[in-house]
A = this chain, B = another copy of it.
């Protein structure tokens, strides 16, 4: 594995649109067989990075190498990447099958072979029986799955997936995640996955790259990044709420694992909200408001508007405050 060149290697990519600096120096590697999730708030430049990699956008600076080969100057079709567009970009003049078989066809496969591959890909995304349909009448989720199948069917060694499941329900997503995971493992493709779904990132990605306003602010192993965000901004972006001021320029980050409900002092509960698999409560702690999710079982520790809570100091971390 280690002697294989990375499936993707980006260095110093910059791209502006008129006055908007969409990408401002992004360097990132995706190894063969590895899935990297690209996370970041809306408009931070994720899709632009993917478009640069696919060769649809010329970077203002920087270079793109795919499977060890510099492709910065190459046209999209010479790069061997499969891209799922955020807005699908299905071919309106082709049927569902025609759309999915398109990639194999233009890469020279015979019709029968191409269609067989297309059917396989369609089965993977759980779209049986729609082969002959025009894409115009598809539902949002159906169209998205066609787009995903179309990219998968190319058999490209590098897949660029731009929020490929944003319009699917959770069960289907879970199924697809399992399917994709085993597919990626089987074909050894490098995958760069843009997603806003942290479960998806966790389930699929070995590493995560967090992007902010055109730059990567933290790259690391998935659990590492989730467990140890580098800055207050990253922590907040990943959904951490217990970021309490701790002197100028610093915050005290209290991860949920550091919270021990049912032991220690009583604190008053200022908010509670039922969530999937439990209840989310906010406790007026001396450091500031602390939120935590109690499982159905732990909820028993609640005593009206009070909760015993102790913080395991060793789990608390100081992070630089870099939020605007």
Whether, in the assembled complex, A314 has its beta carbon less than 8 Å from a beta carbon of chain B, the answer is: no
Q: Which residue of B lies closest to A294 (CB)?
A: B295
The answer on a CB contact under 8 Å between A42 and B295 is no
**What is the CB-to-nearest-CB distance from A116 to chain B, in angstroms, rounded to a whole number?**
24
The answer on a CB contact under 8 Å between B140 and A172 is no
Q: Which residues of B contact A172 (CB under 8 A)?
A: 41-42
Contact (A167, B166) CB under 8 Å given A87-B87, A140-B47, A260-B297: yes
**What is the CB-to-nearest-CB distance from A123 to chain B, in angstroms, rounded to a whole number?**
15
Partner of A274, one of B169, B223, B296: B223
Report copies per complex.
2
Whether, in the assembled complex, A61 has its beta carbon less than 8 Å from a beta carbon of chain B, the answer is: no
Task: Please provide the chain A residues from 72 to 96 with a CB less than 8 Å away from any CB of chain B in the complex.
Answer: 86-87
A47 and B277 CA atoms in complex are apart in Å by 28
Q: Which of A138, A202, A256, A276 has the largest count of B CB atoms less than 10 A from its CB?
A: A276
Number of interface residues of A (CB under 8 A): 55
Partner of A87, one of B140, B170, B273: B140
Q: Which residues of B contact A162 (CB under 8 A)?
A: 140
The answer on a CB contact under 8 Å between B256 and A140 is no
The answer on a CB contact under 8 Å between A276 and B199 is yes
Q: Which residue of B lies closest to A143 (CB)?
A: B87
Q: Which of A47, A137, A171, A274 has the largest count of B CB atoms less than 10 A from its CB?
A: A171
Partner of A42, one of B87, B168, B202, B226: B168
Whether, in the assembled complex, A39 has its beta carbon less than 8 Å from a beta carbon of chain B, the answer is: yes
Q: Which residues of B contact A174 (CB under 8 A)?
A: 239
Partner of A237, one of B141, B145, B169, B273: B169
The answer on a CB contact under 8 Å between B163 and A167 is yes
The answer on a CB contact under 8 Å between B137 and A42 is no
The answer on a CB contact under 8 Å between B171 and A239 is yes
Whether, in the assembled complex, A113 has its beta carbon less than 8 Å from a beta carbon of chain B, the answer is: no
A42 and B176 CA atoms in complex are apart in Å by 13
Interface residues of A (CB under 8 A from B): 17, 20, 39-43, 46-47, 86-87, 137-142, 144-145, 162-163, 166-174, 196-199, 202-203, 223, 226, 236-239, 256-257, 260, 273-277, 293, 295-298
The 7 closest A-B pairs by CB, nearest first: A42-B141, A257-B296, A169-B196, A86-B140, A166-B166, A43-B139, A43-B142
